Amino acid sequence: MRRLMILVMTMILVGCAAIQPYQQTTNSNDSVDLGVLSLASSVELYLIENEESIIASLEALNLPVPHIVFEATAEDKKQIQCLARNIYWEAGGEPIRGKAAVAQVTVNRTADDRFADDICGVVYERDRVKVRGRMRTICQFSWTCMAVKNKEPKSNEQWDDALAIAQKFVLDGTNLPELDTALFYHAQYVHPRWAKQMVRIERIGNHIFYREKVKQTGIYLASNN
């Protein structure tokens, strides 16, 4: 199995060598440069994007398909999709840094025990809270409570940016150091009461990002509501 794994990875590396590394484009007024994927991440992304053709090639050569290789990438593929959708629906019209900031908050939450421990869990997390004597379901990210949650993102520049940023965060562990304590944000045109309990970090595009003054327990909302 080890020799077969080496053969498969060699085939993949040869294939990757013919592909130009992805370079994140930025607007002229955007200082964020997400750079290119590392070699290891490029190989994994190649596996994710070309799984069917790689399997077909192995079968054509009468080689057993090492499902363990693809199983190892399945979870990352899922997390990339969840993060990309959150970036797209929450910050599709934002500058690159604004998109990356939403990704940062999402990833930051996975390390906090008040939230889910993986990206998909964080994105689709819901809470039951009492509002004026009645129980309501509150989505942490508002789009997941809206009809758009069932829509496929359009294949356009906004989706391409969201997907590329998600790949960098999930596969390469990219982060924005200035936002590594940010767990919350809201659109600049709303004024949620919870923001008064937070420390404002900065405004990026149409979103304002916050960290906590003191770590507390309870329910926090960081959607655009």
**Distance of alpha carbon 43 from its chain centroid, rounded?**
19
Whole-number Å distance between alpha carbons of 203 and 185:
9
How many domains is the chain built from? 1
Q: How many CA atoms lie within 13 A of 223 on its CB side?
A: 20
Answer yes or no: is 80 within a domain: yes
Whole-number Å distance between alpha carbons of 137 and 131:
10
Answer yes or no: is 52 within a domain: yes
Whole-number Å distance between alpha carbons of 48 and 44:
6
Please list, in sequence order, all residues whose beta carbon lies within 8 angstroms of the beta carbon of residue 149, skipping any fewer than 6 positions away.
143
| Token pair belonging to 28 | 């002229």
pLDDT digits (tens, 9 = 90+) for 2-50: 444 544 555 554 554 444 455 544 443 455 667 788 888 888 888 888 8
Q: Where are the alpha helices (DSSP H) in 111-213?
A: 119-123, 157-172
Answer yes or no: is 201 within a domain: no
Q: Are 171 and 47 in contact (CB under 8 A)?
A: no
Q: What is the pLDDT of residue 6?
A: 45
Q: Where are the alpha helices (DSSP H) in 18-128?
A: 39-49, 51-60, 67-91, 96-110, 119-123
Answer yes or no: is 216 within a domain: no
Whole-number Å distance between alpha carbons of 193 and 33:
34
Answer yes or no: is 191 within a domain: no
Whole-number Å distance between alpha carbons of 144 and 106:
14
Please list, in sequence order, all residues whose beta carbon lies within 8 angstroms of the beta carbon of residue 51, skipping any fewer than 6 positions away.
70, 73
Answer yes or no: is 205 within a domain: no
CATH code for the domain in which residue 138 is found = 1.10.10.2520
Q: What is the pLDDT of residue 11?
A: 54
Q: What is the pLDDT of residue 151?
A: 87
User: What does pTM read for this prediction?
Assistant: 0.80
What CA dihedral angle connects 116, 201, 193 and 98, to 10 degrees? -70
Segments of the chain with pLDDT less than 70: 1-33, 130-131, 214-225
Domain of residue 138: give its range. Answer: 2-13+32-174
Q: Are 13 and 48 in contact (CB under 8 A)?
A: no
Whole-number Å distance between alpha carbons of 142 and 127:
12
Q: Are 68 and 6 in contact (CB under 8 A)?
A: no
Answer yes or no: is 208 within a domain: no
Handedness of CA 124, 130, 131, 135 (dihedral sign): positive
Answer yes or no: is 74 within a domain: yes
